[in-house]
Homo-oligomer: A and B are copies of this chain.
């Protein structure tokens, strides 16, 4: 409504409507979880109506699934722009960790969504077959870095890409996902700039240190 916008050439607003709903829904699900979210609340914040939500997504759960799918697609497509193969193994590993840290740090919504999906035991993610392939790439990429590093003698430890991925994710995800309870218990705010910088460096060093040191360090 802020500016007159004539209907683009042909297609009405289907894409726009869908995208609008998705964005609003994402915020609502992130804020209240799947059961806590209200379709009415989503509809109200939308340019369309509640009816349209069902028209496009079939059900609250269908909408949630779409939100989830989009969230995963987003991170993986961003990740794909990293071009890690062009860096030497150490730089590539650092960059991957830093990217993970930065992405989760700057997308607490994404983190919350994953946490919510875990509460539901990944029931919805499991049904999204599109996701799996995309993620195989992420692991393949990390695997390539690790074996290149080993070959070149930069890394000393032979380790599984999935294991390293697990650790990177754990370290980066937890400080976002659990910042509220952590803050409540230890009386600190993990999102403070100074802490964020320190933790980023710490995590990089921890993982890099692990990979570079020999198995019986």
Q: Which of A's residues lie within 8 Å of B, judged by CB?
A: 32-36, 112, 114-122, 125-126, 131-132, 135, 139, 159, 162-163, 165-167, 169-175, 177-188, 190, 198-199, 202-203, 205-207, 209-210, 212-213, 217
Judging by beta carbons under 8 Å apart, are B210 and A206 in contact?
A: yes
Q: Given A139-B186, A162-B186, A199-B163, decide whether A119 and B125 contact each other with a Cβ distance below 8 A.
A: no
Judging by beta carbons under 8 Å apart, are A206 and B206 in contact?
A: yes
Q: Given A162-B186, A167-B206, decide whether A114 and B181 contact each other with a Cβ distance below 8 A.
A: yes
Copy number of this protein in the oligomer? 4
Q: Given A119-B112, A181-B114, decide whether A173 and B170 contact each other with a Cβ distance below 8 A.
A: yes
Closest B residue to A216 using CB positions: B205
Residues in B whose Cβ lies below 8 Å from that of A179: 118
Closest B residue to A161 using CB positions: B186
A180 to B132: give the CA distance in the assembly, Å: 13
Closest B residue to A163 using CB positions: B202
Judging by beta carbons under 8 Å apart, are A184 and B125 in contact?
A: yes
A112 to B177: give the CA distance in the assembly, Å: 12
> What are the 8 A-B residue pairs with the smallest beta carbon separation, nearest first?
A170-B174, A122-B180, A35-B36, A35-B35, A122-B184, A206-B210, A135-B185, A121-B180
Residues in B whose Cβ lies below 8 Å from that of A116: 119
Judging by beta carbons under 8 Å apart, are B210 and A205 in contact?
A: yes
Residues in B whose Cβ lies below 8 Å from that of A112: 119
